[in-house]
A = this chain, B = another copy of it.
Amino acid sequence: MEQHLYEPVHEEFRDLCRRFLTREAVPHHDRWEADGIVDREVWRKAGAAGLLGMDVDPEYGGGGQQDFRFNAVLDEEIVAAGCSGLGFGLHNDVAAPYLTDLTTDDQRKRWLPGFCSGDLVTAIAMSEPGAGSDLAGVRTSAVRDGNSYVLNGQKTFITNGEMADLVVVVVRTSDQGAHGVSLVAVETGAPGFSRGRRLAKVGLKANDTAELFFDDCRVPAENLIGTENHGFYHLMGNLPRERLSIAVAAVAAAEKLLAVTLEYARSREAFGRPIGKFQHNRFLLAELDTEVTIARTFVNHCVAEFNAGRLSVTDAAKAKWWTTELQNKVADRCVQLHGGYGFMLEYPVAKAWLDGRVQTIYGGTTEIMKEIIGRGLGL
């Protein structure tokens, strides 16, 4: 079904992404999975290729395109290439707006050139062992001490956590619940900042999800991002973009799973005919194809609305939960259609099933999305 979202310039960028991934990521990804982390170098290569900071001001080396479609294209291609270790989406889609919209001129000058060149990998650390869904419950504290903030506490499940040169840390600067949260940038080398174990995960094996520790960790006061005690609202303002990013990846993942499985269902034979020809399977694939088409139509509409500044918190929540639940359903059904092969790690369908499972969890769980939508309905 024709969609009319992307224009030729985006398709050119897609080509660029695809060539980059084929050359710089795909051949190394198995090794990265074994290592549990990607090569540091691939970030710099991505920067050089123009894949980091597409919407950052050209004065800092960014692409200067206020158009989320470029982000979406890169997210889609990373998924299509199966390069789930690359945390570019976190960097471009999630971290970027904090660094571009909430920062001072000075901060921008310090951070954005590295952000765009790949010299400064970013992470954003909200979740703690005791506070995931309940963001307002974070306990990592930052206390002003002269010209510094002194941080104490722990973060967990941080994407790019081990490699990140700059982590936007959500801290408590006052005990006023949601009104006492701030964002502070912690850079590699800050005294009292250490990283814990690389976490052993079900999927996303090449991504360095990590624990972070702050033990009287001292950072300059000018590392505050945005307004003190307004961190919660800064987060709220940016979460729709994060959720849209996840939704875009979810639809791309579902499309790829479906394509791979259609191919399999057309060629694998049982009882003398392609397994896709059995009506149960034909109907199942028709059902998945329908829902993927619908998801694609919806997420594209969301991207267009986001670009127009109209994507509400509720809309983003709808896109996030529905597409990621669909992704998981598609993955599960596609594993089943592969029979025993679906249980073998070497099959892309197995890896996609593993990688995808977290999508309904991070960035706000399905349950939290429904809370948000329900409240929007006045319930």
Contacts and interface: CB of A to CB of B under 8 A. Distances in A.
A336 B200 contact: no
Interface string A152-172: 000011000000000000000
A227 interface: no
A333 to B, nearest CB: 11
Interface in A300-358: 301, 305, 310, 312, 315, 318, 321-322, 328, 332, 335-336, 339-340, 342-346, 350, 353-354, 357-358
Copies of this chain, count: 4
A208 to B, nearest CB: 14
A281 interface: yes
Contact of A1 (B274, B315, B366, B367): B315
B373 A290 contact: yes
Given A134-B271, A322-B291, A346-B200, A286 B377 contact: yes
A280 B277 contact: no
A103 to B, nearest CB: 28
Given A339-B361, A366-B336, A201 B345 contact: yes
Given A133-B339, A199-B344, A370 B321 contact: no
A266 interface: yes
A142 to B, nearest CB: 23
A223 to B, nearest CB: 26
Contacts of A305: 1-2
A160 to B, nearest CB: 15
A72 interface: no
Interface in A244-298: 262, 265-266, 269-272, 274, 276-283, 285-287, 289-291, 293-295, 297-298
A282 B328 CA distance: 23
B202 A285 contact: no
A4 B216 CA distance: 53
Given A282-B374, A377-B286, A343 B361 contact: yes
Contacts of A287: 370
B201 A344 contact: yes
A140 interface: no
Contact of A293 (B134, B199, B318, B374): B318
Contact of A379 (B203, B269, B282, B318): B282
Given A133-B271, A350-B202, A379-B277, A283 B374 contact: yes
A202 B2 contact: no
Contact of A297 (B278, B297, B360, B375): B297
A127 interface: yes
B345 A202 contact: yes
Contacts of A328: 332
Given A285-B374, A289-B377, A374-B282, A127 B336 contact: no
Interface of A: 1-2, 127, 130-134, 137, 156-157, 199-203, 262, 265-266, 269-272, 274, 276-283, 285-287, 289-291, 293-295, 297-298, 301, 305, 310, 312, 315, 318, 321-322, 328, 332, 335-336, 339-340, 342-346, 350, 353-354, 357-358, 360-362, 365-367, 369-375, 377-379
| For the complex of A and B, 5 pairs with smallest distance between CB atoms | A282-B374, A286-B373, A279-B279, A286-B370, A286-B374
